[in-house]
Amino acid sequence: MSEKILYGYTGLFDSPDSITHAAEKAASKGYKKFDVHTPYPLHGMNKAMKLPTSKLGYVSLVVGLSSALAAVLAMFWISAKDYPIVIGGKPLFSFPAYVPVIFEVTVLSASIATVLTMLLIFFKLPNNGHPLHGTEYMKNVAVDKYGILIQAEDEKFNEADVKKFLEECGAVNISPVYFDEEEINHKHKILEPKFIGFLLLTALFTSGISYLTLNKLLYLPPFDWMMEQEKLNPQSTSTIFADGFGMRKPVEGTVARGYLPYAFKGQPEAAGENLVNPLPVSKSVLELGQKKFDVYCSPCHGYHGEGESRLRGQFPNPPSLHSEKVRTWSDGRIFHVITDGQNIMPSYSTQLTAEEKWAAVHYIRVLQRALNAKESDLQ
Amino acid sequence: MSVVDYTKELSVIEGKPPLRSLDDLISKPLETKPDKKFYIALSITLSMLGLFVIGLGLTFWYGIGMWGNNNPVGWAFDIVNFVFWVGIGHAGTLISAILFLFRQKWRTGIARFAEGMTIFAVMTAMLFPLIHVGRPWLDGWLLPYPNQHGIWTNFTSPLLWDVFAVSTYFTVSLIFWYVGLIPDFAVLRERTSGKVKKLTYSIFSLGWRFSNRHWNHYEMVYLILAGFATPLVLSVHTIVSFDFAVSIMPGWHTTIFPPYFVAGAVFSGFAMVQNVLLIIRKIFNYEHIITVDTLDKMNKIMLVTGSMVGYAYAMEFFIAWYSGVEAEQFTFVNRAFGPYAWAYWIMVSCNVISPQLFWIKKIRRSVPVMFVIAVFVNVGMWFERFVIVVSSLSRDYLPSSWAYYKPTYVDFMILIGSFGFFFTFILLFTKALPVVSLAEVKAVVDGAQPSHKDH
């Protein structure tokens, strides 16, 4: 059996006055590594032990100020740079409105930082392996005794001297404290089967829960983004109407906006002569036309109207829109093809409003002009 | 009649009990099996909690249409309860932080308990905005974080300030509470012999050693936290009042709201602390720790804050008249004599009139009477929020949209349930943790501090 390693000598006192005296004496005798243990803080003990004022205030100051600054910068970046939205006519960066948040952030981060610094850095807690734990001494100072400890590490430490010193001060229960053998020799065994088993179980559990939440739970009511609603959907049957359809036809004789009945059904030539494009050629009109053309026409006619269909032969390729014929057609004539269809090309009346069709016609003109540019266009 | 010697401070703890007996007494509830009374109380609060769960379940499943809220009263019981519970939560930090800064030693007996109450009250309060959004599982959207929607929260909105204020308040109170508990966990660790208990207490005490090198920093941190918590506690109810004051609703848009709300919060908080403490004190025989002197002082604070609240009620009327704004004038006449007059007069009689009885010393020191008055104050403060929220909304600028708000049964289930939630925590707290701070109480027993004779 090896020799036990001495941690220090402890002694107990009964009254706050006597412990204060003892602390004063220990400090003036030149002991550096000594400590006083009391069930509650004693007034004047800092002075008796010659402890400097705690520096934790600086932690609060630095963390508090820097997080205040961080909060201002973050709000500036968010509200004025990344997501600028005018709310209530206020400037994008409206400092007065940020004051509450700045204040809260400051208090929150400063308090957390101060407490964590104290516990983790200043006190080096948690530390349940300290030699004082589990001693009779600790049991006493926790309740109603006042104890002093002089550590063996101290330069002036000398067993006989310290014992004598404590006796002179009037301490009772003077006793040595040793390091706990088990505690010193203890090694954290990461590869212990129990620990690995625990890790595995945790992994299984968390992944199982996440899988179920993300893939099952989120699709159950009421979490399902209101997918299930008590309303009639287009294809569902209805008990309200006699015909059992959930979908209803518009009331007889009504006309939806932009869908006036077409006057030149089956009369391409008349349409070409009488219809005039009502839209001006402007950037927004052309952009609308391009959008509609790319969505509704380009699958067959190609993005450039040259008949380069993307349907890979599943539908006959249409002729080019750059032909002499179509170029000389009036706008009304092209409008007629879109509205009424032509041979195997279907009508686009249900998909496009009149305005959108006219815009598409303008856009076709742009495409045509692009392939057959005039000399003057170059200037 | 005995003559009081004002040159000496009154003892905070009566009769100079030996320190060990304090430990024994305070940790007794933790070391003994709970008795029948405890189980009866717990079963009552748990049934109330059950109502809460059912009420919330109905709300989640069918949506907040289950509540009485409807145009124009879009805020009702949910916000009333939120403000009520946040208000209750203000007493704890006031006692532990502001009274600490003012060196009011009498706070030690009640501080731990009041702090615990703060935490539970704020927890209860936080539930309400979270369920009010209708889909509580999306509450994460309240926080500003980079997200796939590409949008950010609005930092100019009082509702967002609320998110920050209440969550900060909760966190800081919790930290404050825990820091205070560390030495007590260490005491319990030294007392207990049970293996599981010892392990738990060891973990939570973090291996605290009662070292004065630690106490030195510890006291500094306590001071700093108190310094932070003091403006914090004032800011929280100020920001809650901004929810109303920053809007343009008549009856809400007033600058008196922040101080008036804070006074009201302290008022109701003290009433609740007093109510619950009186019961605890009786059950656990803490009469000499939570002395009549302490209760007397609490009642004085209620008297002060109650008068402030009464002053604010009067001032609202005065300003409505003085401002010459018609809508504002109408709102206040409507409060006192309109369809919600019944609520208004309950509020006035409970909040303004009943605490005035505390001018009389006999009443301030009579336990049963002060209990009843504090109950009245609690009721009155709930109605104050009801009056503010509902009476203003139900009759706003546009008479064509006026409507009378009526709560549904689900509203009541949630209201009663919130009390169940709160009191269940309180009951478990009394059994799980020391409800009086061991270290702090010992420090204020007569003769516990060095006398400094020879200096």
**pLDDT tens for residues A69-79?**
999 999 999 99
- Say yes or no for a CB contact (<8 Å) between B190 and A139: yes
Report helix, strand or coil for A11.
strand
For the residues B196-221, what does the mean pLDDT come to? Answer: 92
The CA distance from A13 to the nearest CA of chain B, in Å, is 13
The pair of structure tokens assigned to A13 is 């006192």
Per-residue pLDDT of A62-98, as tens digits, reads 999 999 999 999 999 999 999 999 988 889 999 999 9
For the residues B228-236, what does the mean pLDDT come to? Answer: 92
- pLDDT given for residue B107 in this prediction: 85
What does the CA dihedral A201, A203, A208, A210 come to, rounded to 10 degrees?
Answer: 140
Per-residue pLDDT of A178-202, as tens digits, reads 887 776 777 777 778 888 999 999 9
Distance between CA atoms of residues A29 and A23, nearest Å: 10
Q: What's chain A's average pLDDT?
A: 89
Distance between CA atoms of residues B77 and B69, nearest Å: 8
Phi (first) and psi of residue B211, to 5 degrees: -75, 140
Chain A residue with Cα closest to B137: A223
Per-residue pLDDT of B137-171, as tens digits, reads 889 899 999 988 889 999 999 999 999 999 999 99
- pLDDT given for residue A2 in this prediction: 53
- pLDDT given for residue B455 in this prediction: 43
Q: Is residue B450 part of a domain?
A: no
For the residues B247-273, what does the mean pLDDT come to? Answer: 92
What is the side-by-side order of every strand in the sheet holding A146-151?
A34-37, A146-151, A6-13, A172-178
Count of alpha carbons within 13 angstroms of residue B272, beta-carbon side: 33
The CA distance from A7 to the nearest CA of chain B, in Å, is 15
The pair of structure tokens assigned to B266 is 């302290």
Domain count for chain B, please give it.
1
The CA distance from A335 to the nearest CA of chain B, in Å, is 40
Question: Bridge-partner residues for A151, per DSSP?
Answer: A8
Distance between CA atoms of residues B224 and A344, nearest Å: 83
Distance between CA atoms of residues A85 and A94, nearest Å: 12
Per-residue pLDDT of A314-341, as tens digits, reads 888 899 999 989 999 999 999 999 999 9
Pure H helices in A176-267: 181-185, 193-215
For the residues B389-393, what does the mean pLDDT come to? Answer: 93
Distance between CA atoms of residues A226 and B209, nearest Å: 56
The pair of structure tokens assigned to A246 is 């959930």
In which band, very low, low, confident or very high, does the pLDDT at B54 lie, cut at 50, 70 and 90?
A: very high
By the 8 A CB rule, do A318 and A300 touch?
yes
Fold exhibited by the domain A268-372: Cytochrome Bc1 Complex; Chain D, domain 2 (1.10.760)
In which band, very low, low, confident or very high, does the pLDDT at B419 lie, cut at 50, 70 and 90?
A: very high
**Is the model's pLDDT at B81 over the cut of 90?**
yes
For the residues A208-237, what does the mean pLDDT come to? Answer: 84
Residues of chain A with CATH 1.10.760.10: 268-372
Count of alpha carbons within 13 angstroms of residue B369, beta-carbon side: 16
- pLDDT given for residue B33 in this prediction: 86
Q: Which range among A9-23, A198-212, B42-56 shows the weakest confidence by mean pLDDT?
A: A9-23
In which band, very low, low, confident or very high, does the pLDDT at B181 lie, cut at 50, 70 and 90?
A: very high
Per-residue pLDDT of A155-166, as tens digits, reads 888 888 889 999
The CA distance from B20 to the nearest CA of chain A, in Å, is 6
Contacts of A229 in chain B (CB under 8 A): none
Q: Which range among A337-341, B32-36, B365-369 shows the weakest confidence by mean pLDDT?
A: B32-36
The CA distance from B361 to the nearest CA of chain A, in Å, is 34
Which has the closest alpha carbon to A104: B421, B302, B325, B232? B232
Chain B residue with Cα closest to A146: B210
Contacts of A90 in chain B (CB under 8 A): 156
Q: Is residue B60 part of a domain?
A: yes
Report helix, strand or coil for A176.
strand
Question: Which A residues 132-191 touch B at CB under 8 Å?
Answer: 132-133, 138-139, 141-144
Report helix, strand or coil for A367.
helix
Q: Cβ contacts of residue A119 below 8 Å, gap of 6+?
A: A125, B206
In which band, very low, low, confident or very high, does the pLDDT at A36 lie, cut at 50, 70 and 90?
A: very high
Exposed (0-12), middle (13-18) or buried (19+): which is A66, by Cβ within 10 Å?
middle
Handedness of CA A298, A302, A306, A312 (dihedral sign): negative
Interface A-B, measured as beta-carbon pairs within 8 A, has a size of 201
Q: pTM of this prediction?
A: 0.81
| B6-14 long-range Cβ contacts below 8 angstroms, 24+ apart | B9/B105, B10/B293, B11/B446, B12/B105, B12/B106, B12/B108, B12/B109, B12/B291, B12/B293, B12/B294, B12/B444, B12/B445, B13/B109, B13/B288, B13/B289, B13/B291, B13/B441, B13/B444, B13/B445, B13/B446, B14/B287, B14/B288, B14/B291
- Say yes or no for a CB contact (<8 Å) between A17 and B221: no
What is the domain extent for residue B399?
Answer: 19-144+151-443
Question: Which A residues 41-60 touch B at CB under 8 Å?
Answer: 41-46, 49, 51, 53-54, 56-57, 60
Give the whole-number percent of chain A exceeding pLDDT 90.
Answer: 48
Distance between CA atoms of residues A22 and B383, nearest Å: 59
For the residues B332-357, what does the mean pLDDT come to? Answer: 94
In which band, very low, low, confident or very high, does the pLDDT at B4 lie, cut at 50, 70 and 90?
A: low
By the 8 A CB rule, do B170 and B163 touch?
no
- Say yes or no for a CB contact (<8 Å) between B19 and A143: yes
Chain A residue with Cα closest to B156: A97
- CATH number of the CATH domain containing B290: 1.20.1630.10
Q: Is residue B217 part of a domain?
A: yes
If phi over 0 gives left and psi between -120 and 50 gives alpha, with beta otherwise, what is residue B395? Answer: beta
Distance between CA atoms of residues B194 and B192, nearest Å: 6
Chain A residue with Cα closest to B61: A222
B195-205 and B158-191 are packed helices; what angle lies between their axes, rounded to 10 degrees?
130
The pair of structure tokens assigned to B359 is 């001018």
Please confirm whether the linkage preceding B72 is cis (ω < 30° from 0): yes
The separation between CA B429 and the C-alpha centre of its own chain, rounded to angstroms, equals 15
For the residues A102-120, what does the mean pLDDT come to? Answer: 96
Q: Is residue B453 part of a domain?
A: no
Distance between CA atoms of residues A249 and A348, nearest Å: 19
